[in-house]
């Protein structure tokens, strides 16, 4: 069996809520006990509604947020408590594509300068070698050379996304975390960007963690999916199994909520009521029980653990 390229063990990221005099008056459990193994070459989807902790999880893997507890291993090596200098070497092969590529490019730098920057930081290449490398990457993401002399505001959102991706790929990473890679794009652009992701994965031998709230995107891209709700994975498994036979009531409602053109209209009888509770004040037991049609006494008393249920795993006392 191949070794996992990235593995998370019971990862927790809590943020303190502070009151007067900086006194700690509570905490928000953004990520609360998440474990998974990422195999080389796979596309792993993390899906959930806003505020469920999926971006926090991605950022914790990158070391942007410090985990409260738990461990992160990259190619077998612990990376959650590395010294900053050792961290830099890891960061080269583990890259993060931000949600808003427009905001992550410096508006006063030309695209060319933004593309040089990661190579200046992480490699010893000279100017000519860097130029050669970025031109080849630019071609791979489908942008003309002339874009090197443009400023970010002169190109469209889809092109900015391509530049953001080119910037990451210049370092030849192994794992790329894509945080909402299609939010804010129109469907026609989204389709081309997604096929670009697929092509680049082949060319550069990448492993993706794809974070998205858009189930349609997750479904077309991923081989394995984990569904998060309020900081926990409630269900995970192969994509087809999750979409065709969701076991957790929350997954079931998510899948049911996607409009299906030509199918039954979900708005006629959508059964999930209410909204997620305040993450600073979670309900006892199962976090979903306040909205769950199956909730019983047991759900209020005991939090269900993520337990295997072929072909995936589910955290529910009464799975379907």
Q: How far is the CB of 193 from other proteins (least distance, A)?
A: 8
Q: Is residue 189 involved in binding other proteins (CB under 8 A)?
A: yes
Instruction: Kindly state whether residue 187 participates in binding other proteins, applying the rule CB under 8 A.
Output: yes
Residue (254 or 295) nearer to other proteins, CB: 254
Identity of the residue, 171 or 217, whose beta carbon is nearer to other proteins in the bound complex: 217
Of 37, 39, 40, 49, the one binding other proteins (CB under 8 A) is 49
Q: Does 270 bind other proteins (CB under 8 A)?
A: yes
Q: How far apart, in whole angstroms, are the C-alpha atoms of residue 253 and residue 65?
A: 30
Q: What are phi and psi of 84, to 5 degrees?
A: -55, -35
Nearer to other proteins, 20 or 259 (CB): 259
Tell me how far, at minimum, the Cβ of 15 lies from other proteins, in Å: 18
Which two structure tokens, joined as six digits, stand for 45?
Answer: 């989807």
Q: Look at the block and give the residue holding tokens 């806003």.
A: 50
Q: In what order do the strands lie in the sheet with 69-74?
A: 24-38, 6-18, 69-74, 77-78
Question: Is 267 a residue that touches other proteins (CB under 8 A)?
Answer: yes
Partners of 313 in beta bridges? 236, 308
Nearer to other proteins by Cβ, of 95 and 182: the residue is 182
Q: Is residue 57 within 8 Å of 33, Cβ to Cβ?
A: no
Shortest Cβ 43–other proteins spacing (Å): 11
Rule CB under 8 A: is residue 3 a binding residue for other proteins?
no
Q: How far apart are CA 14 and CA 66, in angstroms?
A: 9
CB of 37 to other proteins, least distance (A): 24
The binder of other proteins chosen from 77, 195, 284, 307 (CB under 8 A): 195
Q: Which is nearer to other proteins, 204 or 243 (CB)?
A: 243
What lies within 8 Å, CB to CB, of 243 at 6+ separation is 215, 219, 255
Of 124, 268, 281, 310, the residue at the interface with other proteins (CB under 8 A) is: 268
CB of 250 to other proteins, least distance (A): 9
Least distance CB 280 / other proteins (angstroms) = 13
Tell me which residue of 287, 284, 283, 280 sits closest to 19, measured CA to CA. Answer: 280
C-alpha to C-alpha distance for 247 and 255, rounded to whole angstroms:
11
Residue with tokens 């410090």: 66
Residue 198 found at the interface with other proteins (CB under 8 A): yes
By CB under 8 A, residue 128 contacts other proteins: no
Looking at beta carbons only, is 22 or 273 nearer to other proteins?
Answer: 273
227-266 residues near other proteins, rule: CB under 8 A: 240, 243, 253-254, 256-262, 265-266
Q: Is 294 in the site for other proteins (CB under 8 A)?
A: no
Alpha helical stretches, state H, the chain? 54-62, 84-93, 101-104, 111-122, 127-140, 157-169, 187-204, 215-221, 239-244, 249-257, 297-301
Instruction: Kindly tell me the burial class for residue 97, based on how many C-beta atoms sit within 10 Å of its own C-beta (0-12, 13-18, 19 or more).
Output: buried
Applying CB under 8 A, the residues found at the interface with other proteins are: 49-50, 156, 158, 186-195, 198, 213-217, 219-221, 240, 243, 253-254, 256-262, 265-268, 270, 272-273, 275
């Amino acid at each position: 069996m191949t070794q996992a390229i990235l593995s998370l063990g019971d990862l927790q990221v809590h943020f303190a809520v502070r009151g007067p005099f900086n006194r700690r008056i509570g905490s928000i459990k953004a990520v609360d006990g998440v474990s998974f193994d990422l195999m080389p070459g796979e596309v792993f989807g993390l899906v959930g509604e806003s505020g469920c902790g999926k971006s926090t999880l991605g950022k914790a893997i990158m070391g942007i947020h410090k985990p409260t507890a738990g461990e992160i291993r990259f190619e077998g090596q612990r990376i959650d408590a590395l010294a900053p200098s050792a961290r830099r070497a890891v960061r080269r092969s583990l890259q993060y594509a931000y949600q808003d590529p427009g905001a992550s490019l410096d508006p006063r730098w030309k695209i060319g300068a933004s593309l040089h920057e990661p190579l200046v930081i992480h490699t010893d290449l000279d100017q000519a070698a860097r130029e050669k490398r970025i031109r080849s990457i630019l071609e791979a993401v489908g942008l003309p050379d002339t874009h090197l002399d443009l400023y970010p505001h002169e190109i469209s959102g889809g092109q900015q996304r391509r530049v953001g991706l080119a910037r990451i790929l210049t370092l030849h990473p192994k794992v790329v975390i894509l945080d909402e890679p299609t939010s804010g794009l129109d469907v026609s652009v989204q389709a081309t960007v997604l096929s670009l992701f697929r092509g680049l994965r082949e060319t550069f031998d990448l492993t993706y963690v794809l974070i998205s709230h858009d189930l349609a995107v997750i479904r077309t891209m991923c081989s394995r999916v984990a569904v998060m709700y309020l900081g926990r994975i409630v269900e995970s498994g192969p994509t087809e199994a999750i979409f065709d036979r969701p076991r957790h009531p929350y997954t079931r409602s998510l899948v049911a909520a996607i409009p299906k053109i030509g199918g039954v209209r979900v708005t006629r009888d959508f059964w999930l009521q209410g909204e997620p509770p305040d993450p600073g004040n979670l309900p006892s037991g199962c976090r979903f029980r306040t909205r769950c049609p199956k909730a019983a006494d047991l759900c209020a008393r005991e939090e269900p653990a993520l337990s295997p249920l072929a072909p995936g795993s589910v955290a529910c006392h009464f799975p379907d």
